[in-house]
Every structure is written in structure tokens, then in C-alpha cells.
Structure 1
Amino acid sequence: MDTHHFLTLCIFLLLSCHAITTSSATAEEDASDFVRRLDRKSLGLHKKEKLSHFKFYWHDIVSGPNPTSVNVIRTKNTTTFFGSVQIIDNPLTVGPDLSSKLVGRSQGLYAGSSQSEISVFMSMTFVFTEGKYNGSSLSILGRNPVNNKVREMPVVGGSGLFRFARGYAEARNVFLNFTSGDASVQYNVYVLHY
């Protein structure tokens, strides 16, 4: 191999290495744009975590001229309602009566999820409208076997004052009208938050 070919090969190899190094650096820059470490204090996570208990009533109004729970998928299974889906915008009140003070709304859906019992999968967000929690929300996601005396579902997160929230909610039937489908449920929610 003569000197000219040798120099050409060396230059080609150097340029190739430079191209590989440049593309690797670009990949690292792209990755750093995707994720980065944050200081916990910048998100308010340096404060001591609190445990709060909320008690309110959830009203599922299926009947009448202004229902807050609307069936969007009907099922032929009228025993367990497996496969049916309800979209909800239910009021949350301080007391068991619908006329008591409104503290928020429960928005989301529930779906018949069992072939052997009345059990629904619930995906809903409690959006609070009262006091210092006005505008903050808690999200519930889980199984609700409706005929059990007490049902427990996880709190999977929240927004506003409930960022990074976790906990659980207990539901107890207060009123259930089998003719109209209307129901009132007491919720006790235990939540860890900052």
C-alpha cells in the first residue's frame, strides 16, 4: 500500500470515528431532553407528608330529567350487568341527602366487570370545589363489588394539593333504589399527600 492510499484510509477512518462520536453525542443529548433528574424541593416534596381523611357522599342519579350517570353501553345480562358502561358526573356532598352542601363532583366511568356477581370496575376522579381543596382532585381506579357491605379501592394519584397522592377509599351503600337505579354511597378516603 502506498503512502497516498494509507493517508486516504486514515482520513476515512478518522472521519468515520468522528461521525460515530457525533451521532452518539446527539443520541445522548436526545436522551437528556427526554428525562432529567429533578430536585425534590422544586416540586414541594421536602415537606412532611400528611395523612388526611375525607368523608363525603357520592350520588349516582340514573333517573329523572337530568341524570348524572348515563348508560353508554347496554348489556343483555341483567343479572350482573357484565359489559355495561356508565359515564358519570356525580355530585359529592357533605351529608347523605342530595340537598346537603356540595363539595365536589365525581367524574369518570364504571363498567360491569364480573359475570358471576354485581361488580364494577371504577375509574373516576373526585374533583373538589370547596375550601382549600377547590380545584384539586383524587383519582380512584379499582374493583367495586357493589353488594359487599364495605368495598375498598385504591387512590392512585391526584392533582393540585394532591400531587403524588396515594391511599385508599372505602365505599358503603347508604341508599339504593332498585327500581330507578339511583344510589347514594358514603366514601371514606384516606390519603397520603404533601
Structure 2
Amino acid sequence: MSLSFSFFFLLVGVLVSLPAPAQAHGLGKEKVTHLHFYLHDVISGDKPTAVQIAQPNVTLGVQSATPFGTVFAINDPITSLPVINPTTIVGDAQGIYVSTGLEKLGLVMMVDFGFTHGKFNGSSFSVMSRNPVMEGTGREVAVVGGRGKFRFGRGSARLTTYYLNPANGDAIIEFNVTILHY
């Protein structure tokens, strides 16, 4: 047997004997969690939850509340029902989104969804994905991470626009999320 052939079998033996990443960190068995909530993105009024932090220095295409190239910082409440009151708030979504659609409204989101009430209090998951807003129901965004009870999270969220005011950009978005985590 040649030296390189022996080295190959030694390398395969070492790799096979290594624990899986989750086992190496003592995380136990992978879980699946399904979440349902509403995000309230308020651009207008005296207390907006989304504020414009950058805009293009040229005028492009159709004017809207979120024109192409505009960047927003958000701290949007998330609720168990499509209304905001102290009993329905379960957390908030913090991050940024960029209007990336030239022809029709589309966003790229980098948002962390943190829970401040209920059994997921102190935990969060993150989305970094394209959100084709005008595609209506069932558009999908990627869950790319998590912390707390959603550690090593990955999955997807289906978004449906529950309410949209095209004049000012205020929206309520329904989220149905599936997260695989440890």
C-alpha cells in the first residue's frame, strides 16, 4: 500500500470519528419550532418604527414611500395578533432594510427578531434575505441564525402583507416561521 493511500484512509478515519458540530458543543438533539406573529412597520406619524437613514442622490422611476436605493433602520413591534396593545406585543424586530426594486417594490432585509415575552423571552432569530413585497402571499425569506432557544437557527419564513398603505408605506406583515435549532 502506498503512503498516500494509507494517508487517505487515516484522514477518512479521523473525519468519520469527529463529532457533529452540535454534539461537539453539547447542544443535544435538533428541534423544529413554528412561530406565527405580525410585524408592524410604521414609517409615518409622530412615532415611526422605521426611519429613513439614507437615500439615493438621484431621482429614479416611480415615486413611492420607499423609493429604490433608500435605506431604513427599524425597531418594529411584533405581536401575536394584527393589533398593537400591551397584551399582544411579544417582541421587536431590529435591523435595516434596503429598497432594491427598480420596477416594483422589493426589499433586502437584515433583521433580528427578538422576543421579550412568553416562552421564547430572551431569544431571537435573524433574517438576511430578499423580500419581494409585491409578490403577495407566501413570499419566503431565509432564517440564517439565532440565539437563546434558537441557537444555530436556520429555516424560512413565509410572509403575507396583512395591511399596506401605499401612500405612506405603513404595513403589517404576517409571519409564519419554521426554525430548525438546538
Aligning the two structures, in what range does the TM-score lie when normalised by the shorter sequence?
0.7 to 0.9
| 39 and 126 in structure 1: CA distance in 2 versus 1, 3 angstrom threshold | closer
Determine the structure 2 residue equivalent to 1:188: 176
Q: Secondary structure at the match of 2:149?
A: helix
Determine the structure 2 residue equivalent to 1:167: 155
For 1:175 and 1:182, the matched residues in 2 are separated by 8
Determine the structure 2 residue equivalent to 1:97: 83
Shift of 1:43: 2.7
Aligned residues: 157
Q: Secondary structure at the match of 2:169?
A: coil
For 2:139 and 2:23, the matched residues in 1 are separated by 36
Percent identity between the two aligned chains:
42
| Superposed counterparts of 1:76-155, under 5 Å | 76-77=59-60, 78=63, 81-99=67-85, 101-149=88-136, 150-155=138-143
Q: Which has the larger radius of gyration?
A: 1
TM-score by length of 1: 0.75
Determine the structure 1 residue equivalent to 2:165: 177
Letter in 1 for 2:81: G
Letter in 2 for 1:160: G
Q: Deviation string for 1:87-139 (max 9, x for gaps)?
A: 00000000011235100100001101122221110000001111231111100
Shift of 1:38: 9.5
For 1:39 and 1:168, the matched residues in 2 are separated by 21
Determine the structure 1 residue equivalent to 2:25: 43
Letter in 1 for 2:134: N
User: 1 or 2 for the larger relative contact order (CA 8 Å, sep ≥6)?
Assistant: 2
Query: Is 1:65 paired with 2:51?
Result: no
Instruction: Report the aligned-residue RMSD.
Output: 1.9
For 2:49 and 2:135, the matched residues in 1 are separated by 23
Letter in 1 for 2:113: F
| Counterpart among 35, 41, 45 of residue 54 in structure 1 | 35
Structure 2, unaligned runs of 5 or more: 1-18
Q: Secondary structure at the match of 1:161?
A: helix
Q: Deviation string for 1:67-88 (max 9, x for gaps)?
A: 1000111343325721001100
Structure 1, unaligned runs of 5 or more: 1-36
Letter in 1 for 2:139: R
For 2:131 and 2:147, the matched residues in 1 are separated by 23
User: Could you list the runs of 4 or more consecutive aligned residues of structure 1 that deviate by over 3 angstroms after TM superposition?
Assistant: 37-42
TM-score by length of 2: 0.80
